[in-house]
Chain A
């Protein structure tokens, strides 16, 4: 059961709009070749610049729009427009620049825009692939549920391990103590812990089972299966956290640089009008 998503929203309405905008931009650019070469100060430059500036503000407004729950309308259409028109905007701004770059406030603003746009594209990519993977990983479970089950497995494993020889007990205790699940953004983004004590414990336990006393055999089997289950749970929890982190971390670029872009853009406009 598939229905409209942000790309084919209203039968690609905003995609079409973006294409038209870009074509118009190019047409204008090719038709009005100013005597002094392409640059922002021309009639065309002012036109494109004004349009772009308005669009940048409108793009940033999306962040506010999406949290104005008490307003009307649907956010989905806004995001679809945000993506397509944002892409068109980049082209328009590039034309507006007339490809004059240098170490100045103007190029700085342009750089900010690129960061915002590139992070936006990356975000888009994450939105396209991770949701499906997350469902595959989690099924009907949720993270809280997994963490709870891990904690319970910890408790159980430790109790059983107390009755076992010291080496086994130590391995289990270490696994329970030292396993970390998504501590810090970096580990979250990576989605694994190097030399994960849980995985190692399972490996080591497999080797420790050989010469056990009879009375320990059944306990050992229980313990081993708990640790295996626990390790899968840990892996799934990390995986889920990783997807979450990846779905979200690009916004740490997208939003602050949007604000920086607004500031730089205002500076650029002021500079143009007052110091030209």
Chain B
């Protein structure tokens, strides 16, 4: 072999490493530093030109928080809560000090297993191989790019960090979703803005964005083109505008000269990429996490997944996993960093055994939890509380709003459904309870009390949901139980166990988006619908107009009328919010009715009541309509429609302002700010009005709070009375602000306010606000004054009684003129 062939060989043989780490975020950097510490041959690949692009994209000066506080950091990548800039600087210094073997602008596009190793392909086609690959690409880095000529010009950007930085420019924003619209709105005033929207309208946007948008266009501050797709972006050699966008509109190609393009096309799900690497997922659910072993290894041997991509949404977790994964690759069975936390958790009831033993014990005791792999079980226990109630202690009360889920490791508990103090059911070790509140978001329907000393695991809703979307078998079990409970609750208190099982096994669970129809007036009756989650409206065509007759909340059923009369559907039933219903098919239901006179009686009674309510409502509507004096607009049916549009259908408590008596003194807002660190959580004079009722911008305390969906430190909770609140572990990421459809969350600095002196109060002088002493912005919203003895201050401060808080069920019942009984949902059937 000559020297030249050797060189040629080096050229063509891909470079090989023991470990290749993909993604230089916190997880990847931590893995790389640890690999360097241990002298492993490794390479770190990063798609961007600098490390940690997710953190780099935080807003300037953001305080990066270090949650969960109690979790120790074991990696040599330093991290403490500090400013974004400091964090980035420290990490850059670490990279330099360690001489980390990192390659930037090395985006991985393919990965697959060959016979001997894993082969990676980069964008430029270069191939690399490794014995082990650690995938740490997070979930942020997949912003969709413009796949058109010129999509990579420097004037085209995919993010807007600082809208203030642009003045007197002509800017084209591509994308009609919320982020595009919000960027466009932020740029108006100082710039000329044009939005290109692929769709025919902006119906995917939040209500508030929509109205601001129309407002802005009316004022000439921006403009848009609909059903328009960009074709190409070209550099201009001269003239005022550096680039020109060529866009395909319904009227032909349009040329738009501009300074800048901001494209907000959404993010790509990382799932297709992972699937192309051969990584398996447990369910088809898009929220499902990849299948991983306890050592973070995927089903592709040698391919490890850590950090946000593996479902651990916080920096600290990622950093620890980066360390652990290198240890695992080397075959060292290190204890995960969270072992100490688990030990602490377990200390109270079982301190003589190792953490793994206790986990094993839990798995053996509770069949439901045995469906989890050990990584998932650890996660679950970490996020849960271990409760050790003494005999007689109450776990939760009837009508509480708590949404946690309980597994019984040891002991027995009583369930009390009605007022008498006699237990209606017993729960034993190995069983679970509380799953209905998990599903429906409504009050607990029974009290649960320990009969013997117990060991319980109390798991927050979000942790359960994460698992449900990833663990097929668990989802199936919980679904079955939930169907059974809802059958039991809606119709079945007198049903035999056999009938109940039969019904439950043959029922189907159906989901509907807000506004979707369950069935339509005139349809053949297909069965009985039990509303398990969400709520529906019942409407009927009167005089060519669809009139809402009733509002039916979770825990009740619809569709019994045609079932009994045998006639076609009399009314249209529509989901008011995202709704799940259990459908019992007509034949089976008729069969059950035939055999159970009691159920027949109950359905008949309900049928007659419905008939009566509908009759009353129709009379009312008709008379209001004909005398016209009150105007079309304030008929009860319109009021219901309006309130439902404002999210009242999914709320547990809404603030309303009676504008006909409100004297606009703003005491409601001032009182809120004064008692909540200076930031008011309600905006009295924005929000839609119907007749004299305004629904101001203020939290509705949703049954299924959208804001909770994606909170990395899980800082948003539901208190027993239904209050949705944010605790002080908020990291200020802004996700909840994005997710709330009613726009009630703001980012603000919370700081205790000085109490004004008597003189200031008498004369109405505002005391000077304290200077901002470097507080950080966190998410703030109404907490319904849950920590204030006398209840909501907005209502109490209003001198004229214009501010009122209402429970929507009463309100909608009232508006509908019908009687509404409290939903008697409960999550307490014995299984």
Contacts and interface: CB of A to CB of B under 8 A. Distances in A.
Query: Real complex partners, A and B?
Result: yes
Interface of A: 1-6, 9, 60, 63-64, 66-70, 72-76, 78-79, 126-127, 130-132, 134-135, 139-140, 142-143, 145, 148-149, 152-153, 155-156, 244, 247, 251, 255, 259
Interface string B766-802: 0000000000000000000000011001011111111
Nearest to A240: B664
Interface in B137-169: none
Contacts of B691: 1
Contact of A69 (B659, B671, B692, B800): B671
Contact of A152 (B221, B659, B687): B221
A79 B800 contact: yes
Contacts of B667: 66-67, 75
Interface stretch (B96-104, B317-325, B583-591, B753-761): B753-761
B354 interface: no
Contacts of B671: 69
Given A69-B793, A127-B663, A63 B764 contact: yes
Contacts of A152: 219-221
Which 6 pairs, one residue from A and one from B, show the smallest C-beta to C-beta distance? A152-B219, A69-B671, A67-B761, A76-B801, A135-B659, A142-B685
A3 B221 CA distance: 42
Contacts of A130: 663
B761 A131 contact: no
Interface string B680-712: 000001111101111000000000000000000
Given A1-B693, A67-B764, A140-B687, 15 more contacts: A2-B658, A3-B804, A5-B801, A6-B799, A66-B797, A67-B670, A69-B797, A75-B799, A127-B661, A127-B663, A127-B800, A131-B659, A132-B692, A135-B689, A140-B689
Nearest to A3: B804
Contacts of A259: 762
A4 B801 CA distance: 7
B800 A5 contact: yes
Nearest to A244: B664
Nearest to A152: B219
B796 A73 contact: yes
Nearest to B760: A67
B218 interface: yes
Contacts of A145: 215
Interface in B642-695: 658-665, 667, 670-671, 674-675, 685-689, 691-694
Given A131-B662, A135-B659, A148-B219, A66 B799 contact: yes
Given A132-B660, A135-B660, A74 B800 contact: no
B284 interface: no
Contacts of B665: 247
A63 B762 contact: yes
9 contacts: A1-B691, A1-B815, A67-B670, A69-B674, A69-B675, A75-B667, A75-B797, A149-B219, A152-B221
Interface in B716-766: 755-756, 758, 760-764
A6 B659 contact: no
B696 to A, nearest CB: 11
Contacts of A131: 659-664, 802
B658 A3 contact: yes
B688 A140 contact: yes
**For this complex, into which size category does the number of interface residues on chain B fall?**
35 or more
Nearest to B757: A64
A74 to B, nearest CB: 4
Given A6-B800, A63-B762, A69-B670, A135 B756 contact: no
A122 to B, nearest CB: 14
Contacts of B762: 60, 63-64, 255, 259
B634 to A, nearest CB: 9
Given A142-B685, A149-B215, A67 B693 contact: no
Contacts of B215: 145, 149
A143 B685 CA distance: 9
Contacts of B801: 3-6, 9, 74, 76
Interface in B612-660: 639, 658-660
Given A70-B674, A142-B686, A76 B221 contact: no
A149 B218 CA distance: 8
Nearest to A63: B762
Contacts of B663: 126-127, 130-131, 247
A3 B804 CA distance: 9
A2 B692 CA distance: 9
Contacts of A73: 790, 796
A163 B694 CA distance: 43
Given A75-B797, A79-B800, A1 B658 contact: yes
A103 B544 CA distance: 75
Contacts of A64: 758, 761-762
Nearest to B793: A69
| Listed residue (B688, B795, B796) with the most chain A CB atoms within 10 angstroms of its CB | B796
Interface string B34-69: 000000000000000000000000000000000000
B664 A247 contact: yes
A76 B804 CA distance: 12
Nearest to B802: A131
Contacts of A72: 789-790
A104 B692 CA distance: 50
Contacts of B795: 74
Contacts of A76: 798-801
Nearest to B188: A152
A5 to B, nearest CB: 5
Given A73-B790, A140-B688, A142-B686, A156 B220 contact: yes
A67 B673 CA distance: 12
Nearest to A67: B761
B481 to A, nearest CB: 40
A152 to B, nearest CB: 3
A95 B699 CA distance: 52
| Listed residue (A4, A63, A69) with the most chain B CB atoms within 10 angstroms of its CB | A69
Contacts of B797: 66, 69, 75
Contacts of B756: 67
Contacts of B798: 75-76
B675 A70 contact: yes
A1 B687 CA distance: 18
Contacts of B218: 149
A259 B761 CA distance: 13
A227 B215 CA distance: 17
A161 to B, nearest CB: 14
A251 B694 CA distance: 26
A118 B2 CA distance: 112
Contacts of A60: 762
A228 to B, nearest CB: 14
Contacts of A75: 667, 796-799
Given A1-B693, A68-B761, A135-B659, A155 B799 contact: no
Nearest to B662: A131
B752 to A, nearest CB: 11
Contacts of B662: 131
Contacts of B755: 70
Nearest to B667: A66
A12 to B, nearest CB: 14
Contacts of A135: 659-660, 689, 692
Contacts of B221: 152
A73 B792 CA distance: 10
B661 A5 contact: yes
